[in-house]
Amino acid sequence: MEEEVYDKIFDELINFLKQSHDVFGLKEHKSKHLINEVPTAALITGVNMPDHNTIYSNLFNQLKDGITPYIAQLASKDCPNIKSLLAKLVGQLMQTSDMLDDDEDEIDIKKVPCTMSVLCSWYHHTTMKTSPVKKQSKSPRKRLSKAAASDVSFPQFPPIVVIVEDLEGFTSPVLQDFIIMCSQNIKQLPIVLLFGIATSVSVVHRLLPQHVSSLLSIEKFQSKSSTEYLSEVIQMTLLNPDHPFRLGHKVFQLLLDLFLFHDFSTTSFIKRLQFAMMEHFFSQSASVLCCRQQDVASRVQKLNKDDVDMILQLQSVKRYIPHLKGEKQVLIKKNLAEAKIAITEMANVMFSHDTTFVPIMHCLHIITRSLPKHPLGKQLRELYAMCLEMSIVNTEEYQHANNLARMFARDELISFLGQCEVKLKSCSKLNAEADKLDDFRTRLIKLGDSCNDFVEEEEKAEPEPIEETKETGRREKTTLRSLQKKLMESAKKSRKLTKYEALRDDCMTYLQEMFRNYLKCPQSMPLYEVYYCTAVSEVRHHINASPRAALQTALSNPHYYLQCKCCKTDSGRMVESFPDLCIIYKLHLECGRFINLFDWLQAFITVVKGGSSENEDENTEEDQVLHARFIRAVSELQFLGFIKHTKKKTDHVARLTWGGC
């Protein structure tokens, strides 16, 4: 699924990398690189850092599938200087099956000079040599891997792709030296640079002076924003009728908030979605029915009486049963076979609702996404979240959007109806609705120049309703809102409608009725708990973790995680069976800003020895072991950020945190 998300940008990148040195080795190549420019692709990936590894790994795999076997990935943490960069570059490029003998697993890169001249010699040796019959490897595993590698056909002079994953992390001198080296050897090596940029292309000019940046022939590739990738992921998972699992309103909103306010990572969103699915199937016993529609009947037949009773006790089922006939209600409670038939029917009702829910929601989004201030949201996920919470037609936002939609121009309405018709035709159950929208669209087109003609009285389909008021003794209170409503109604009655306005009102009335019938809140459907994950507290507890609270709980009460009897004590007490780090932590809570290491050591020894006051030689082996344990525990506490070294007092450490367990 991740490859499908990044498919378009990968196609453009691969075409650029393939054509960058398409004439290498020919006479045209020398004339093409008279100015020694290095082909460079600037890939704008965005700030969604967890997704970068996925992007580069997928791109690496696609390049290996027929473009080039010579790919190097460079990260700033591994390249603090030009020497380390060249070592990484040469090491990754030369570790190929062509350079390995039958008895070698890898080349000892320490024995190879890491220079560009060595790289040029290696490249021409591997590409210009003839291809005699290779010796069979003694190892079947190596022979199999080489055979698999030989199945992929590469061009005679495949390009050398150097992927710089995080350009912002590299220092300017290292980049300058590397680019100058690549430019000087571009006629001998078909090098292509791929810069991974999280911000903007201007970072290239910020890191490189003009005489270096002029050596690059840069082409920009802008990946879609992470929010667009998120919409595609939601469309392929939660809005796909082939996948019965869904998220409840609160869980869906939680995952959206974590995405929008934390990391903008679709990879993390997918992992959270997987965890929510795991939590749903683990905690909800009735989730055994969360399967494809054709498998529901067989699974229902395998249910025993306890399982059926448990399903009948679900809140959504309890709300649905009273709507059935009286005789059927009695049979469901008494007859197991009838109960299974009813559960199967309820599951089919849920599947039918999900099948029609998504296309109709798409239609509503098409009509309302361009409205001013976007009352129903600009993105489909916003509308979907609102539909999960309650019936959308009963919200104030929908009423406001409906009023704005009744002012569409004719061309806009024709375009929207055409898009809605395409969405409805994707579902066979909505063919009648699609035909009705096509009829409205045809009538709007046929109006032509007569759309501004007024409707005659006899052409009105329905007479205006006459309001009947009851005579009461009390006078109705007039408010600003009621007065505004009365004035608008009177203005509508006094003003004659044009033919287009009358047809538009009929069309919007039909759409409103369609939305009311099909966009019912999923919470009102039977077996809602089976197909929708609603365990928001459990999902939030595990996904939106509090590391500081968990760390303090583990250090102050190790029994909470270890679950051992020896560590189970009253709150505040310490026993010798506690882990050394827990003892050190609880002792440091009793100290002030500065902690004397010698006193801390003596207190630690006292606790570990169980408070024994026997006089023992200080140089015994046991004391040396205790000293080592103490030093290790203090180092771990420093690593966790609770203490630090200080120069204000000799043999003291400073405490960095306050507050106990």
Residue 553 has pLDDT above 50, yes or no: yes
CATH 3.90.320 fits 547-655, yes or no: no
Q: How far is residue 639's CA from residue 635's CA, in Å, rounded to a whole number? A: 6
| Predicted pLDDT of residue 458 | 45
Segment 617-637 mean pLDDT: 84
Identify the pLDDT of residue 618: 53
pLDDT in tens, 327-355: 888 888 888 899 999 999 999 999 999 99
With H, G, I as helix, E, B as strand and everything else as coil, classify residue 199.
coil
Check if the beta carbon of residue 581 is closer than 8 Å to that of residue 551. no
The number of C-alpha atoms within 13 Å of 386 and in the hemisphere containing its C-beta is 19
Give CATH 3.40.50.300 domain extents, the chain: 2-127+153-224
- More confidently predicted of 280 and 13: 280
- Give the closest residue to 17 by CA, choosing from 70, 58, 96: 70
Token pair listed for 279: 């939590």
pLDDT of residue 647: 82
Mean pLDDT of the chain, nearest integer: 82
The boundaries of every CATH 1.10.10 domain in the chain are 547-655
Residue 640 CA: distances (Å) to CA of 458, 579, 586, 590, 655: 84, 15, 14, 18, 12
What does the alpha-carbon distance between residue 387 and residue 522 come to, in Å, rounded to a whole number? 8
Q: Strands 594-596 and 652-655, how do they pair?
A: antiparallel
pLDDT tens for 166-211 read 899 999 999 999 999 999 888 888 899 999 998 888 899 899 999 9
* Angle between helical axes of 431-447 and 499-518 (0-180°, round to 10): 170
pLDDT at 461: 43
Burial level of 75, CB count in 10 A (0-12/13-18/19+)? middle
Residue the block writes with tokens 């329905």: 462
- The CATH code for residues 2-127+153-224 is 3.40.50.300
> With 60 as the cut, is the pLDDT of residue 459 above it?
no
Structure tokens at 427: 């579902």
Q: Answer whether residue 475 shows pLDDT above 80.
A: no
HSE value, Cβ hemisphere, 13 Å, CA-based, for 488: 7
Rama region for 101: left / alpha / beta (φ>0; ψ in -120 to 50; rest): beta
**What is the DSSP pairing of strand 594-596 with strand 643-645?**
unpaired
Vertex 155, ends 149 and 161: CA angle to 5°? Answer: 80
**Number of C-beta neighbours around residue 214 at 10 A:** 12
Give, as one character, the DSSP assignment of residue 479: -
Across the beta sheet with 160-164, the strand order is 71-74, 160-164, 191-197, 38-44, 216-222
Query: Any idea which of 61-70, 125-134, 250-259, 599-608 has the lowest mean pLDDT?
Result: 125-134
101-118 average pLDDT score: 61
Bridge partners, residue 222, by sequence: 44
CA–CA distance, 271 with 543 (Å, rounded to integer): 10
**Cα(586)–Cα(223) distance, rounded to whole angstroms?**
51
Q: 162 forms bridges with which residues in the sheet?
A: 72, 193
| Residue 139 near residue 172 (C-beta atoms within 8 A) | no
Q: What is the pLDDT of residue 149?
A: 44
E strand intervals along 485-635: 532-533, 594-596
Say if strands 160-164 and 71-74 run parallel, antiparallel, or are unpaired: parallel
Range 615-625 average pLDDT:
69
Summarize pLDDT for 203-222 with one digit per residue, the tens: 998 999 999 999 998 999 88
pLDDT given for residue 223 in this prediction:
83
Distance (Å, whole) CA 560 – CA 553: 8
Burial of 132 (0-12, 13-18, 19+ CB in 10 A): exposed
